[in-house]
Amino acid sequence: MNLVRSCLLRCKSANGLPYRAAPGRYACDQCTERLAQILAELVTTYTDMTEVDELVPGGGPDNPGGRQAPGPRSPAVDALLVHTDPRSVTDSGASPAALASIAGWARIVREEQTVDVEPEKMLGTVPTGRVTMAREAQTLRFNWHWIMAQPWLDDFADELRQVLNALRTVRRLNVPTLRVGTCPAVADDGFKCGASLSVRVDAVLIRCRGCGAHWPQSRWHELGDARADYAQLSEDLGVPVGSLYRWAGEDGWTISGTRARRLVNRADALASYARRRGPLFAEQAG
């Protein structure tokens, strides 16, 4: 006989009454699905943020000389290092570190699921290789319904939400810088400045470091090329090329150029970035 209990995750119906947990679990079906979505978003956000292109913008295993990463005092890089270290321990009251948190819960699952395993066989239940987010999250997914039946489910759910919110905060700290083109200002002697222009996507003014000329957002459309290829956008935005191809298909970007070098509108790319990662240049410049 199944015990009827309220959902541990504090969900309530329109009349203010808590939903019943599914038979044999501590969560209702809606919360079970919602929590799975939170874990999926957490893993996706973590993966996107820890891609080489995003952790070191413009860099990569074969291209260490790309655009430089933020300095050692950068809050974005410091926070990423904390979230990607499975040994990280955060202060009391602070948001838990992503990889350390997920690895900790996966370890609890493995330990409790193997309580009846003979001691000499315990080693075979521990995954080999280094700790990764993909491996630990897979352990949670594989045992999802078992997790939903544990009395510590509310603590697990609260920590997943905290980790996701922390990753979202770090993502906002790591603001990309876009290369705009060359400065078109003409000096008194008639020569064009030609210095390289760049702008943080959260800026309101582009200023040339060479001649001091500046452009407010209302004139940004006068600068640079309105189109770019996928490689350039990947470097500018710190987004893997594969993700950009997916965004182009999902959001219907305008594509031109040749088969060998596809060109897309920067405005389309920035709008897609804004939808997924917060308000950026595309929305501000409008």
**What is the predicted pLDDT for the residue at 282?**
38
Query: Is 167 a residue whose pLDDT tops 90?
Result: no
**What is the predicted pLDDT for the residue at 235?**
75
Could you tell me the pTM of the whole model? 0.53
Other C-beta atoms closer than 10 Å to the C-beta of 50 total 17
Question: If pLDDT is split at 50, 70 and 90, which confidence band does 1 have?
Answer: very low
Spatial distance between the Cα atoms of 220 and 241, rounded to a whole number of angstroms: 25
- Pick 43 or 1 by higher pLDDT: 43
The domain spans of the chain are: 29-173, 177-284
Do 90 and 97 touch, CB atoms closer than 8 A?
yes
Do 79 and 92 touch, CB atoms closer than 8 A?
no
